[in-house]
Amino acid sequence: MTGDKPLEIVLLEMFLLVLLGPLVTGFIQKLKARFQSRRGAGVLQPYRDLVKLLNKGSVQADTASGFFRSIPVLVLATTVAAGALVPVVQAGPPAFPLGDALMLLGLLSLARFLTAVGALDAGGAFGGMGASREMTIAPLVEPVLMMVVFSTALAHGTTELGILAEQRGASWILTWRAADFLGFAAMLVLLPAETGRIPVDNPDTHLELTMLHEGMLLEHSGPGLGCMMLASHTRQIVTLGLAAALFFPIGLEDAGVIGLLLGTLSFVAKILVLAAYLAVIESSYAKLRLFQVPQYLGIGFVCALMSLALRIL
C-alpha cells in the first residue's frame, strides 16, 4: 500500500533514529546512575565510546572464518533498515512500497540471528553460551511482540505501521479500548526483554556468566564492535519507536515544516518517557535467573493473548 510520505522523510526518520539511538542509551545510563546516587558519565558517553572504537584497529580470533568480519556491517544494516519502517515524525504510509510491522520484526530477528551466528563463528565459549541463551529467549519474545502488533492491527485491518499510526492518530489513553490496555501491558513487559535490559539481560556487565547480548559481542573489536554497539543502540530506539507508534501515535498528523518539528518533539518526548520507564525498571529489579525468564515473559504472553481475545470475542 502506498501513500504520500516522500522518500526524503523516510530517510530523515531513519537517520534520526540512528543518530538518537546512543543518546537514549546515555540517558538511561545517566538516569540509572542518578538513582544509585552516582554522578554517572555524561549523556554523550555512548557517542564517545563509538568514536573511540571506530578509531581503533581490530583483531580477530584465529578460528573465525571470513564471514565473521562482515557480521557487524550486516547486523548494523538490517537494524538500520528496520528503523526505516518506524513512523517517527510523520504518520501515513510512504509513497513507495516499503514493508510493514512484520517486516520490521523480521529484520530485527534477522539481526539477532546474524549476531548469534557471528558469536558461534568466532568459537569462543562465552559467545556460544550467549548465542544459545539469546536463541532460547528470542522465540519467547518475538511471537508475543507479534501478537501485540496483531492485536492493534486487528482493530484497523492493516499491519502497515504508518497507516496504523495515522488511523490511531487522535487516539489517546482516554479513547483506548480494553484490548489496548492489555496490549500495552504486554508491551511494557516485553520492552526490557527486547532491548536486552534487566530483568532479562544486563547490558552493563562483561563479567558475569549470565550475560546474553554482551557475551555475543566479546569476540568483536575495534570498528566491528563499534558497529555492533551502534546496532544495539539503534535496535533499542527502534523497539521504543515501535511501542510509541503502536500506542502513542500522537502529534504525527501534520505535514509541512511545523508538523515535522511537532512530530520530532513529540517523538523525543515519547522516547524519553519510555526510556525513563526502562531505567526505573532496571534500577528497581534484579536480573532474573535464566529459568525464571519464561515465567516473566509468560505474563506478557498471557496479556497479549487476552488482548487478542478481547478484540475477537
Our finding on whether 295 is near another protein (CB under 8 A) is yes
- Among the listed ranges 10-18, 54-62, 153-161, 299-307, the one in contact with another protein (CB under 8 A) is 299-307
Cβ proximity to another protein: between 135 and 299 the closer is: 299
- Among the listed ranges 110-118, 126-134, 238-246, 290-298, the one in contact with another protein (CB under 8 A) is 290-298
- Which three cell numbers mark 229? 554497539
| CB distance 58 to 71 below 8 Å | no
| CB distance 84 to 253 below 8 Å | no
Amino acid at 18: V
Q: Kindly report the backbone phi and psi dihedral angles of residue 5, in degrees, each rounded to the nearest multiple of 5, phi listed first.
A: -85, 115
Q: Measured between alpha carbons, how far is residue 233 from residues 17, 20, 136, 228 in Å?
A: 9, 9, 22, 9
CA atoms within 13 A on the CB side of 125: 2
The Cα–Cα gap between 70 and 67 comes to 6
Q: Which residues pair with 5 in a beta bridge?
A: 94
Our finding on whether 313 is near another protein (CB under 8 A) is yes
Cβ proximity to another protein: between 176 and 277 the closer is: 176
Which residues inside 100-119 make contact with another protein, applying CB under 8 A?
none
Our finding on whether 289 is near another protein (CB under 8 A) is no
- The DSSP letter of residue 5 is B
CB of 66 to another protein, least distance (A): 43
Our finding on whether 135 is near another protein (CB under 8 A) is no
CB of 169 to another protein, least distance (A): 19
Our finding on whether 299 is near another protein (CB under 8 A) is yes
Which residues inside 147-206 make contact with another protein, applying CB under 8 A?
176-182, 185
Residue with cell 533498515: 81
- Of 2, 70, 205, 292, the one binding another protein (CB under 8 A) is 292
Candidates 221, 203, 236, 224; CA nearest to 75 is 224
Q: What is the distance between the terminal CA atoms of the chain, rounded to a whole angstrom?
A: 28
Our finding on whether 277 is near another protein (CB under 8 A) is no
Q: Kindly report the backbone phi and psi dihedral angles of residue 282, in degrees, each rounded to the nearest multiple of 5, phi listed first.
A: -65, -30
Our finding on whether 310 is near another protein (CB under 8 A) is yes
- Among the listed ranges 121-129, 147-155, 214-222, 300-308, the one in contact with another protein (CB under 8 A) is 300-308
CB of 280 to another protein, least distance (A): 16
- Site of interaction with another protein (CB under 8 A): 176-182, 185, 292, 294-296, 298-299, 301-303, 305-307, 309-310, 313
